[in-house]
Amino acid sequence: MPLKPDFEPVLFKNRRGDRPATFDEYRQGGGYEALLATVGKKSPEEVVRMVTAAGLTGRGGAGFPTGRKWAGVPASAPYPRYVQPNTDEMEPGTFKDRILVNADPHLVIEGIILCAYAVKAQRGIFFIRPSYESDAQLIERELAVARAAGFLGSGILGSDFSFELSVHRSAGRYICGEATAQVNAIQGLRPNPVKAPGAHLTEAGLWGRPTVVNNVETLASVPHILTRGPEWYKSLAATPTGDGTKLYCVSGKVARPGCYELPMGTRLSDIIYEHAGGMLPGGTFKACLPGGASTAFMPETLFDIPMDFPSLKAVGHHLGTASMIVFDKNTCLLAATINIIRFFVRESCGWCTPCREGLPVILDILERIEAGEAGEADVAWLETMTRQLHHAYCAFAPGAAAPIEGLLRHFRDEVMDHLDGRGCPFGAPELADKPGAWHLPKGGRP
Amino acid sequence: MSRKPEEASCRLTIDGREIVVAADTPVIDAAERLGIMIPRFCYHPALGAVGACRMCAVKFLDGPVKGLQMSCMVGARDGMVVSTTNPEAVDFRRQVVEWLMANHPHDCPVCDEGGHCLLQDETISGGHALRRYRGPKRTYRDQDLGPFVAHEMNRCIHCYRCARFYQEVAGGRDYGVLSIARRTYFGRYEGGRLESPFAGNIIDLCPTGTLTDKPSRYRARRWDLERGPSVCLHCSLGCGLTVGARYREVMKLEARLNPEVNGHFICDRGRYGFGYESRPDRPRQPRVDGRETIAGAALAALAEGLKPFEAGKVAMVGGTRSNLETLAALLGLCRDQGWRPPVFFRDARLAGAAESAAAALSGDLVASLADVGRADVILVVCADPLAEAPMLALSLRRAARRGAAVLVLDHRPCDLPCEAERLTFAPQELAGCLSRLAHAALRGRKEAAAYLSSLPLPPDLLPETALALDTWGKRLAEARFPLVVCGTDQAEPTLPALAGGLARLLAGSHDQDRRAGFLPLLPGPNGLAAALAGGGDLEALLADIEDGRATALLVVESDLLSRTPEPERWLAALRKLKLLAVCDHLPSPLLEAAHVVLPSRTVFEAGGHFVNQEGRLQRAMPVFSPGLPMGRTLREGHPPRLFMSCAPGSEPRPAADWLKDLAGLLGAGGRAGDWADLAAAFPGLPGLAAGPAPENGRRCLPETAPGADAPSVAKTGSPDVPPDHLQVLLVERTFGTEELSCRAPLLAASAPEPWVDLAAADAGKAGLAHGAWLLVPLPGGPLRARLRVHQDMAPGLLLLPRDPRLLWQRLAGTGVLVELLRLHAITAEEEPAGEDTTLEAEP
């Protein structure tokens, strides 16, 4: 389905090919008008109401309603309160935040300030992964511009609203993208996720104070909601279950990999064929990960599914970060899974047993299957362990389980083809860098 | 004292059995109460639930929570139906063990934990036997964590107990979690001795052989040990210990849970303070005039020798490290024979302070160590918790972590593992400062008028100091549970009474459901009983011996010659005695001077009762029969083929038995020495009448302390310190000064180098730098020691530890002053090679 003729990009409105939009360019395009129309003119409660009415869902992967999160800061909560924009973006295949920050830094900054206004926060800590150093510097530079313009600092726009934002560079671990782990990381503690029954970051986060952690894509949507209204924002989506526009990242075996802003709920087939230029010449679609490495493989049968949170949930999948990694028929999905699980084995924070000890055991089984060293009992054990990953401490191990579950659910025959000495039908590319683990006879598999 | 209204309780079903518990009790604890031990690794009642190991998974069949959940992380709620045996839960737990064992080295036969290893138990009981994992195993590099803790990381199952204890409970910074994922490592940034004085607890906490007790490594399996409950004697807190002995030698001490005292933990002074019982130089044979003899002959000689003496000329010295039975026998002997009352304390100041602390204590006011953790405003007066009673420091940290405010008024640079406000004053100013604080706390209270009028005048204070004291006074008055801690080791005699009086009035200021607490620190494990027994002090006794008013002396378990600042004067006085008898198990120069030596048993062999600073009667059980450690009787690796009716070196008898037999020989009384006699010896501890101590002890104090409301305050004499002079104060340290543990080979070999302390202002005046070697001109000769300079210490003082490795006895007197400018740093060439600083008096 092609885009509606009147579709105009929202988040990528000021995106240029060569450089970030400047403050002046952003202002000319109506930037900071939302802030001017809000600070001192709308009550914080009104802002929360509008964001709630727009149905804005969190773009970091969980799809939690943003308005509800903000409303979770109790009116009587102590000060200072914190906003923690999350640009950790460690999910493999995901690069939308980087492109967004690079396209229009002031859109992000305005969104953060509006969030701070809504939850009455005094401090913002912009958490960014260390490999985005140039983006961190860009944000720091543009923060100074915004400060000079009076949009940041004490008494913003002559009101009694004061807000200061600084950039915190992560030490660079996947788990730092998890909100509670990120709170620990900023406080100088080990970035272990924290799960206490009934505890919410919006009540006690950074240094025990209310803290709102939002993905930057979520926050960047806020200025538009405030200027053009929740109804307009909702109408942008392609489906009634979606909200606004979404940055879809497409990578893998497609002709034009990249980040595309499309109505939330655009069909997978349209994203791949209309926007990403279709499969690479000679390739045929086999499967894709719909939302980064921690989601399950989606087979061809779901090729026409609308890509929004509820639609995917209905068929047992997750939109995650909406980062499609596309595989063609010449790819061994087992090898792809091994690649992913190696990442998760390395990135586990080491807190709980299933994740720390279970994932390496699972990786070993996967590698053995790929090498043809496994039998049906191993697959059964793999399936059991994968199921048991769901009883881990946080969502990391269940995320790691997802691609394996997709593999076993939709591509079981392919897995079984590897067993009992047969090895990888595609040529075992994933074992080339693992010398010494197995004794493969020269010139062939056992 | 009334508690808050009954907490909401709830009824849940676990494996078909109903139980009612307080809401939010972890389900794992609720099950334990039913006798169902859900497997666990990371959960520990003292550390709380963190859900890391996933071993305690159970199935919730009905109620507000459903499905497979960790029983440590779910609080009990009404209507929960829990199955611990559900196949899904069992399968998951089995898988967790398999995962944990995937990298385990399978080295149980050479692992010291084997036999009391939680991982071994869970692996075997879960049925995991064959490893399905075929991949390469992880290998860690171990670290040298110092003399006490052995590190074997390959056995680690990453339960995080050690790091949680070390950092959260003990406030240590040098040990923790490093790296992530499969490589997660528990250790230090670099190998090296663990800095926390509570580090040994990680051995008890570790559920595997990763952290084991280094001194006892490879010396005994758990089932080889003779084990028994005991009480720690290294300060007045009386922490619970479990003794493990083998081959007539203590192998190791472990913490014994006593909820109201030490909880699950002990300090390293308590854990490694043993070993004095198996020193080669321990007296084991009765001696008369230097010749070894048998028990009966020695006793007869002593009884015979005592007969010619006029009763008033016989003096007895007792020790606060003796058990209650010994103290009772000693008191009974003095009373029945009409001898002078026994002496327990080194000088009049300490005796006065201990007695005034004891008089201020009563059942309605006294606070246990666990109470410290419950208090919300805590005042510590004239106490250095980490040095005098280390576990108190841990309790203060627990309170501080729960939000309590802590104020320390002391002259020493008290090092605490928690946030605390420090105000430093000279020791003689402390009573005045307390007075200022009490006035602020009790302002406008009619019933406090008598108390307030009895207080000394506050010294001249800086305005900000006065303001701080007033603020803290108000905080105490407004507190929900204020608590006053007062030391006796350095305190003026009246100070504990003032502190206790303040606590008593703070308690009175509260509504019915509020309370206040008083926790004095007393000298020695039986310091309270000794203080209640009264008596004189050693300084006065020394004068009496010199004047010939005392001519016979019996010393029972008191190391007076090694503990006095005037050893030369004592030696001269002892030579004047016509009879000196010593009953002890510690080697000391006193034994050489004695006419009669009666070797006594240590607490490990004799057991006995001890009354700690909160009046809690506790019992140590005899754990093994005395005798030379087997290791010392071996000939060419084999025990000698001698057939005897007793073990070699088993002559020592409990000190109480020696004294009772002596009383029998002396004719008078000849008491049976039963419990009633013991109780009668201590009228200040009425609870003794109820009989020997139950498992976790029993408080024996009177419910109220008559006359404690209005302490009589004597004028305290403050020493006149001329300008540019330093007052030399003898102080305690965590390691190296306490009477018993300074004889412990393990601690002696590893205690940090002794040092002296100076305030930064004084050091600046004298041009002395932190870390310099210092030559201190003392009356008995110069003393060399390393200097530490502190910002948070009262000026005008030189703090000198009673550490046998320092020549502190060259002090040759009390109240010694040294001229500041006569202190000087030693140049590099003059620095001692080491042997110069050790005391050659060790026999």
For A192-239, the pLDDT digits (tens) are 999 877 789 999 899 999 999 999 999 999 999 999 999 999 989 888
Are A197 and B181 a contacting pair at CB < 8 A? no
Looking at residue A432, its pLDDT comes to 46
Looking at residue A435, its pLDDT comes to 42
Looking at residue B830, its pLDDT comes to 64
Do A171 and A309 lie in one domain? The reply is no
Instruction: Give the pLDDT band of residue B718 (cuts 50, 70, 90).
Output: low
Residues in B touching A388 (Cβ below 8 Å): 91-92, 95
Looking at residue B841, its pLDDT comes to 39
Instruction: Give the pLDDT band of residue B671 (cuts 50, 70, 90).
Output: low
Closest CA of chain B from A212, distance in Å: 24
Looking at residue A45, its pLDDT comes to 93
* Token digits of residue B405: 């405010």
Q: pLDDT tens across A31-58, in order?
A: 999 999 999 899 999 999 999 999 999 9
Residues in B touching A382 (Cβ below 8 Å): none
Q: Cα–Cα distances in Å, from B152 out to B124, B160, B163, B196?
A: 21, 15, 15, 20
Are A351 and B102 a contacting pair at CB < 8 A? no
Do A109 and A228 lie in one domain? The reply is yes
Least reliable range by pLDDT among A329-338, B672-681, B736-745? B672-681
Determine, yes or no, domain membership for A71: no
3-state secondary structure of A258: strand
Whether residue A195 lies within 8 A of chain B, CB to CB, comes out as: yes
More confident residue, A431 or A108: A108
User: Is B735 within 8 Å of B747 (Cβ atoms)?
Assistant: yes
Least reliable range by pLDDT among A175-179, B22-26, B639-643? B639-643
- Whole-number Å distance between alpha carbons of B817 and B819: 7
Looking at residue B668, its pLDDT comes to 64
**Residue (of A381, A368, A375) closest to A437 by Cα position:** A368
Determine, yes or no, domain membership for A95: yes
Residue A261 sits in which domain range? 245-328
- Whole-number Å distance between alpha carbons of A286 and A335: 14
Mean pLDDT of B377-391: 94
Do A208 and A226 lie in one domain? The reply is yes
Nearest CB to B180 within list A348, A392, A437: A348
Do A158 and A217 lie in one domain? The reply is yes
**What backbone torsions phi and psi does residue B206 show, to the nearest 5 degrees?**
-65, 125
Least reliable range by pLDDT among A416-430, B332-346, B424-438? A416-430
What CA dihedral angle connects A220, A221, A223 and A224, to 10 degrees? 140
Do A178 and A297 lie in one domain? The reply is no
Closest CA of chain B from A236, distance in Å: 39
Q: pLDDT tens across A270-320, in order?
A: 999 989 999 999 889 999 999 999 999 999 999 999 999 999 999 999 999
Mean pLDDT of B298-324: 93
Instruction: Give the pLDDT band of residue A442 (cuts 50, 70, 90).
Output: very low
Residues in A touching B163 (Cβ below 8 Å): none
Residues in B touching A351 (Cβ below 8 Å): 52, 160
Nearest CB to B52 within list A197, A347, A352: A352
Instruction: Give the pLDDT band of residue B74 (cuts 50, 70, 90).
Output: very high
Nearest CA in chain B to A354: B96
What CA dihedral angle connects B568, B571, B573 and B575, to 10 degrees? -140
> Does pLDDT of B4 surpass 50?
no
Looking at residue B444, its pLDDT comes to 82
User: Is A392 within 8 Å of A354 (Cβ atoms)?
Assistant: yes
Do A367 and A389 lie in one domain? The reply is yes
pLDDT more than 70, % of chain B: 94
Are B54 and A437 a contacting pair at CB < 8 A? no
Residues in B touching A353 (Cβ below 8 Å): 52-55, 96, 99-100, 157-158
Q: Which DSSP category does A171 fall into?
A: -
Nearest CB to A353 within list B68, B100, B136: B100
Are A350 and B182 a contacting pair at CB < 8 A? yes
> Does pLDDT of B842 surpass 60?
no
Whether residue A387 lies within 8 A of chain B, CB to CB, comes out as: no
- Helix (H) / strand (E) containing B228: strand B226-231
Mean pLDDT of B187-194: 93
Do A42 and A160 lie in one domain? The reply is yes
Q: Which DSSP category does B669 fall into?
A: -
Mean pLDDT of B699-710: 71
Determine, yes or no, domain membership for A12: no
Mean pLDDT of B634-638: 73
**Residue (of A91, A50, A238) closest to A173 by Cα position:** A91
* Token digits of residue B357: 């602390």
* Token digits of residue A187: 């406080």
Strand stretches in A258-375, DSSP E: 258-263, 285-289, 298-299, 323-328
> Does pLDDT of A3 surpass 70?
no
Instruction: Give the pLDDT band of residue A386 (cuts 50, 70, 90).
Output: very high
Closest CA of chain B from A142, distance in Å: 35
- Whole-number Å distance between alpha carbons of B129 and B127: 6
> Does pLDDT of B297 surpass 90?
yes
- Helix (H) / strand (E) containing B422: strand B421-424
CATH of the domain at A381: 1.20.1440.230
- Residue B572: partners with Cβ closer than 8 Å, 6 or more residues away: B546
> Does pLDDT of A19 surpass 70?
yes
Looking at residue B429, its pLDDT comes to 87
Residues in B touching A393 (Cβ below 8 Å): 51-52, 54
> Residue written as tokens 């699980």?
A341
Closest CA of chain A from B15, distance in Å: 21
Nearest CB to B182 within list A195, A360, A393: A360
Do A107 and A216 lie in one domain? The reply is yes
Looking at residue A436, its pLDDT comes to 41
Whether residue A343 lies within 8 A of chain B, CB to CB, comes out as: no
Looking at residue A5, its pLDDT comes to 63
Nearest CB to B99 within list A190, A351, A354: A354
Q: pLDDT tens across B5-19, in order?
A: 456 899 999 999 999
Name the domain boundary from A328, A357, A392. Answer: A328
Looking at A5-132, list the stretches that DSSP marks H as alpha helix, in order from N- to C-terminal side.
23-28, 33-38, 44-53, 66-71, 96-103, 105-119
Instruction: Give the pLDDT band of residue B549 (cuts 50, 70, 90).
Output: very high
Nearest CB to A393 within list B51, B136, B157: B51
Are B182 and A354 a contacting pair at CB < 8 A? no
Q: pLDDT tens across B265-289, in order?
A: 999 999 999 999 999 999 999 999 9
Least reliable range by pLDDT among B148-157, B718-727, B817-826? B718-727
Side-chain-side CA neighbours of A286 within 13 Å: the count stands at 19
- Pairing between strand B17-22 and B9-14? antiparallel
Nearest CA in chain A to B90: A388
Q: pLDDT tens across B96-126, in order?
A: 999 999 999 999 999 999 999 999 999 998 8
> Does pLDDT of B478 surpass 60?
yes
Looking at residue A428, its pLDDT comes to 57
Mean pLDDT of B158-185: 95
Closest CA of chain B from A410, distance in Å: 25
* Chain A, chain B: beta-carbon pairs less than 8 Å apart: 85
* Token digits of residue B105: 């080295």
Are B92 and A391 a contacting pair at CB < 8 A? yes
Determine, yes or no, domain membership for A258: yes
- Whole-number Å distance between alpha carbons of B688 and B237: 18
> Does pLDDT of A443 surpass 50?
no
Instruction: Give the pLDDT band of residue B840 (cuts 50, 70, 90).
Output: very low
Determine, yes or no, domain membership for A422: no
Name the domain boundary from A235, A269, A289. Answer: A235
* Token digits of residue B2: 């009334």
Whether residue A275 lies within 8 A of chain B, CB to CB, comes out as: no
For chain B, how many residues are written? 843
Domains and CATH numbers, chain B: 9-100 (3.10.20.740), 287-345+530-639+646-699 (3.40.50.740), 351-522 (3.40.228.10), 725-830 (2.40.40.20)
Residue to substitute from B58, B95, B98, B138, interface A, most A β-carbons within 10 A: B95
Looking at residue A431, its pLDDT comes to 53
3-state secondary structure of B381: strand
CATH of the domain at A126: 3.40.50.11540
ipTM: 0.91
Looking at residue B363, its pLDDT comes to 87
Do A260 and A226 lie in one domain? The reply is no
Closest CA of chain A from B135, distance in Å: 6
Determine, yes or no, domain membership for A438: no
* Token digits of residue A99: 């492109």
Least reliable range by pLDDT among B260-269, B442-451, B552-561, B708-717? B708-717
Mean pLDDT of B815-820: 86
Nearest CB to A364 within list B91, B133, B157: B133
* Token digits of residue A186: 């900023």
- Residue B467: partners with Cβ closer than 8 Å, 6 or more residues away: none
Closest CA of chain A from B834, distance in Å: 42
Are B51 and A360 a contacting pair at CB < 8 A? no
Instruction: Give the pLDDT band of residue B832 (cuts 50, 70, 90).
Output: low
Residue to substitute from A338, A349, A356, interface B, most B β-carbons within 10 A: A356
pLDDT more than 90, % of chain B: 66
> Does pLDDT of B750 surpass 70?
yes
Name the domain boundary from A182, A207, A235. Answer: A235
Do A39 and A159 lie in one domain? The reply is yes
Which of A135-149, A194-208, B818-832 has the highest mean predicted lDDT (pLDDT)?
Answer: A135-149
Give me the number of domains chain A comprises: 3
Are B51 and A352 a contacting pair at CB < 8 A? yes
3-state secondary structure of A219: helix
- Pairing between strand A323-328 and B781-790? unpaired
Closest CA of chain A from B634, distance in Å: 48
CATH of the domain at A278: 3.10.20.600
Determine, yes or no, domain membership for A440: no
> Residue written as tokens 């960014």?
A128
Do A86 and A230 lie in one domain? The reply is yes
Are A195 and B73 a contacting pair at CB < 8 A? yes
Evaluate if pTM is beyond 0.80: yes
Do A49 and A171 lie in one domain? The reply is yes
**Residue (of B451, B469, B430) closest to B718 by Cα position:** B430
* Token digits of residue B83: 């199955």
Question: At how many degrees (to 10) do helices B87-101 and A376-388 cross?
Answer: 100
Q: pLDDT tens across B587-630, in order?
A: 988 998 999 999 999 999 999 999 999 999 999 999 999 999 88
Looking at residue B839, its pLDDT comes to 41
Determine, yes or no, domain membership for A378: yes
Question: At how many degrees (to 10) do helices B567-576 and B538-546 cross?
Answer: 50
Closest CA of chain B from A437, distance in Å: 8
Q: pLDDT tens across A68-96, in order?
A: 999 999 999 999 999 999 999 999 999 99
Closest CA of chain B from A356, distance in Å: 5
> Does pLDDT of B2 surpass 60?
no
Angle, vertex CA A20, rays to CA A17 and CA A25, nearest 5: 105
**What backbone torsions phi and psi does residue B327 show, to the nearest 5 degrees?**
-60, -40
Q: Which DSSP category does B135 fall into?
A: S
Residues in A touching B53 (Cβ below 8 Å): 352-353
Q: What part of A 354-373 touches B (C-beta under 8 Å)?
A: 354, 356-358, 360-361, 364, 367-368
